Amino acid sequence: MAERKKGFNLIELSMRYRTVSFTIAAMLVLVGVFSLLTMSRSENPEFTIRQALVYASYPGASEQQVENEVTKPMEQYLFSFKEVRKEKTYSTTKEGIVYINLELNEWVKDADRVWATIQHGLNSFKAQNLPQNVQGPLVNSNFGETVALLVSISSPKRSYAELDKLMDKIEDNVKVNKKVSRITRVGGLPEQVVVKVDDAKLSQYGIDFNRVADVLKNQNQTNGGGEVKLDRNNVPVFGNNAFKSINDIGDQIVYTDSSANIVRLRDVATVSRSYQDTTQMIEMNHLPVMMLSVEMQKGNNMTEFGKEIDKQLDIAKKQLPPDVKVQTIVNQPEVVAESIKHFLVEFAIAIISVIIVVIILLPFRIALISAISCPLSIMVTFAISNMVGLQLHQVTLAGLIIVLGMVVDDAIVVVDNYVERLDHGTKPWEAAWKSATQLFIPVLTATISIIFAFAPLAMFLPGQQREFAGSLPIIVGIALSTSFIVSMLIVPAIAFLSIKKGLKEDHEKAEKEHKKSILDRVQEKYDKAVEWAFEHSTAIVWVAVFSVALGVFLMTKVKQQFLSNAERDQFNLEIWLPPGTPYKETEAAVKKVENAIKGDKRITRVASFIGTSSPRFYVTYAPENPRENYAQIFINTTDNDATDELSTEYISKFHNFLPEGFVRVHRLSFLNAKAPLEIRVISENFEDLRKVGDTIKTMVSHLKGTNWVRDDFEEDYVAIGGHVQEDKLRRLGLTNSQVTQTIGGGLQGVPVATLYEGKTPLSVILRYDDKYRHNFDRLRTVHISNQQGQKIQLKDVADFTPEWHMGNIMHRNGLRMLTVMSEAQNGVVAADMLKQIKPQIEKLKLPYGVRIQYGGDQEATEENVPGLGKALLCSIILIFLTMLIQFRSLKKTFIILCTFPLSLLGASIGLLVTGNAFSFTAFMGIISLIGIVVRNGIILVDFADEMGRDEGLDIRESAIHAAKRRMRPIFLTTAAAAVGVTPMVVGGSPLWGPLGSVLAFGLVVSMFFTLFVIPILYFKWIKPEQEKPEEQDDEQEAELNHHDLTQS
């Protein structure tokens, strides 16, 4: 009979042409090294910010008038767009202005197009639906963009105008970089021409404030002059009568009598050049500064971008006078470089630790192969990741750390099987390719199962969480696929070349010399223990059931904090003073706080934003709307540890620091909310809102751990109501507009013209002299002239009475809503606070029409948990189907799935021992845990099947033999994976610490249950399979057909 021809085997082919295989691997490693050095870097994955700020001003209107005439109509119109996410859209209505924080639905891809459509629509909407003197509405779509760099310029000798011109040099050098997307100037006070009229002088000539305003508006005009048509050419005529200098404004004639006597503006007013009234300022070292915010186009390498901008700034600095100081306040490229460096160090430590563990536990020859295959797989992963456009950031690097143990395990199980075959007398060549071939299907199934465990994260998570975790399944898939290919095509060849004999002789020699390895000793102990466990199998199963129940119970004792603080060398101190507090008082409070933190060596730079806030420098940081009673002290520290220390110290240090205000320590967080604890009261009745809100505030203030309990309506304040007497007004021949322009324009000032100095526009502001603006009694005596020239004092047609006004009127989803808020900075998380107060709130007898909602951390949890639940369910279903396809047995599939609940005890113990909260990343750890423990179960059950099928062992012996034989790879995988994530746990990261805790402890506990419970369940549930006669006939026929096809 002719010799049977061996079928095609890719593994053996790779060994036969190993020079080609090794060369391709070496080339990919070089590409991987190059990719690691050059691939795009960022701190976090790219987020799509679907937020914009829509604002409109209504000068002179009270907050309730603005709400009824501007806010409600605008909200109704904006909600007509299907792209607008109504439940996330909220508005802040104040006296004379409304801000609407608009958010789009997650399915919107082209946000810029939507913003342009909304702005165009608002322009048309305003003409028919808003009061005539409403200014705006405007859509600020840049509100959601995050700056890459914030550069300041200051000098003790120079004015804002001079700094502004010097800033041109910096901007000119920076804007030529093609990676720059947007440059914006921040800070500075615009210059203007102020015309201060004296009412006493006006009354001497029988003119009033409104007459002067009309003259200046009408005289400063540039109109088309047309052209004179001559015989041979046309001569254009220019009608430019605009003011050309401040002297022109002062020389303007404002009145002429019948005797040709003229009154010029300078006769009744002073004309001067000055800055706008200071309502906001940016200071560093008590010096006013201007800033330049620089944004980077998406898809570029942030660290390389930073280096390029630094070079361009160095060029610009050489062009500036020596007294001008340039500093970088926000340096995102530096943050990214530090973050990537930190993770790469942790990653390197993890790789080295895993290799050391493998070398300690395994014979050197086997350990060496694993030590080679691990970095080989990782470098190839970097190469492929760069090819598919993945960025290097903390999520992709965390993904590699998570799968590190599995990457090592692929090589271990193949080499372990190879050595086992050598011990049974198989020749090295045959042992090498058969060891990989035998494990091809179980390792492939395990690899697919782990990929399926992670894949749903990219499908079911909502919004920013999906964008944050979306790259994790990709990097895990690439790493595991690469590891699988390396273990199947490269490791057998390396094993064949480096290991020519098994370990049997080494073990016999070690036993004679009493030099057993650690793993040998563990194996001996385990062999005895598993035999004992089978003798007490029922008790072991009940222990397993109890462990699952205990794990679920302990998980309820873990503190819940869905989104954690960010790790940055920056944090803010926010100063909040009562509404109506003038800028000067806020500035004094800032100086008091600055003096309290002065000289601390842990602080590198301080920038104070008074009356305003910094641009968005972190993805979840939403800048505050400008207000005189607010300030932000931006603090840069030496490192993240310093940020932790200082923020903790300052919570107690600045408690009750300001008699009439509050200093909030604001850490950057992944939570996109104003406070971690938010209780929302919904009602159309202001009195009910206040009453219920005050009750809840009192309840919250008595909770343990609360800090700065407040509501977003803020405090009421006293204002003066100018009420026009309509009957007197009509009788005297005056109009409402004359009175309101006299009051509003006279106090705040009204723009009447624009003076151009080259390309620089200067607004011309007309208002009363300071003696009228700062003295209420004098203001009441100013004159208004009617059409007959009669001079009438303001007090004769208007009553001025004190009245209370609300600080804010808040809407969410178009409904009036008061939100009670509290920080959670005293060791108690928001979820625990809510558990304490929710029963109390539910007992309240709410007025008719009043409802309660919860925001903050609770809302983030409610929004994300359904998606996480779907992701978990989908992962289990995909893994279930994968295993069902391989094993074709429901019982075996369920046995393997039992490894997951058996790991819950370790996960909960890990979180409790380390003090970490159950967070979003902890859930990612649960997903990772599923993949790894299921992998162990697959390897064990598959080997038990093989023992029964190939060796003819009964079910009990197959289970015991599989447990003993697979203890080593399972033990090594667990040890490697647990050690790999240890740097995450030890580092104390609030973001990645929970994930590391879940994995490290969950794997160790699960390993014990997997090695004892899974074999017992296999023994108890699996029955010997007896083939049906027709199946035997089919198999024999198939074997004969195969034999015929392979005959030579």
Domains with residue ranges and CATH for the chain: 51-144 (3.30.70.1430), 149-190+278-336 (3.30.70.1320), 191-275+718-805 (3.30.2090.10), 524-557+889-1023 (1.20.1640.10), 570-605+612-716+808-857 (3.30.70.1440)
Encoded tokens for 530: 């598993």
Q: Quick check: helix, strand or coil at residue 269? A: strand
Provide the strand spans (E) within 129-177: 135-140, 149-154
Separation CA 265–CA 211 (nearest Å): 11
The whole-number pLDDT of residue 1039 equals: 47
Quote the pLDDT of residue 917: 87
pTM across the whole model:
0.82
* H-type alpha helices, 711-799: 726-731, 736-740, 746-747, 770-773, 776-779
Residue 646: predicted pLDDT: 92
Contact of 823 with 664, CB cutoff 8 Å: yes
Which structure tokens are listed for 1000? 């490290």
Which pLDDT does position 1043 carry in this prediction? 43
User: Is the sign of the CA dihedral 103, 108, 111, 114 positive or negative?
Assistant: negative
What was the pLDDT predicted at 8? 66
Which whole-number Å values give the CA distances from 123 to 63, 71, 809, in the listed order?
A: 23, 15, 24
Pinpoint the alpha helices (H) of 39-85: 63-66, 72-78
H helix or E strand, kind and range, residue 171: helix 160-174
Task: State the CB neighbour count (10 A cutoff) for residue 800.
Answer: 14
- Collect all residues with Cβ–Cβ distance below 8 Å to 810 and sequence separation of at least 6: 90, 91, 92, 93, 712, 713, 816, 817, 818, 819
CB 302 within 8 A of CB 335: no
Q: What pLDDT score was predicted for residue 213?
A: 82
Q: Would you call 310 exposed, middle or buried from its count of C-beta atoms within 10 A (0-12, 13-18, 19+)? A: middle
Q: Is 708 left (phi over 0), alpha (psi -120 to 50) or beta?
A: left
Q: How high is the pLDDT of residue 20?
A: 92
Distance CA 944, CA 526 (A): 17
Closest to 933 in 3D by CA, of 243, 409, 436 = 409
What are the φ/ψ torsions at residue 724 (nearest 5 degrees)? -75, 135
Stretches where the chain sits below pLDDT 70 are 1-8, 144, 221-225, 238-241, 258, 502-517, 745-746, 787-789, 1025-1048
Q: Which residues of 435-456 are buried (b: 16+ CB within 10 A; e: fewer)?
A: bbbbbbebbebbbbbbbbbbbb
Q: How far is 25 from 379, CA to CA, in rounded Å? A: 10
pLDDT for the residue numbered 4: 43
The two structure tokens encoding residue 664: 């909030």
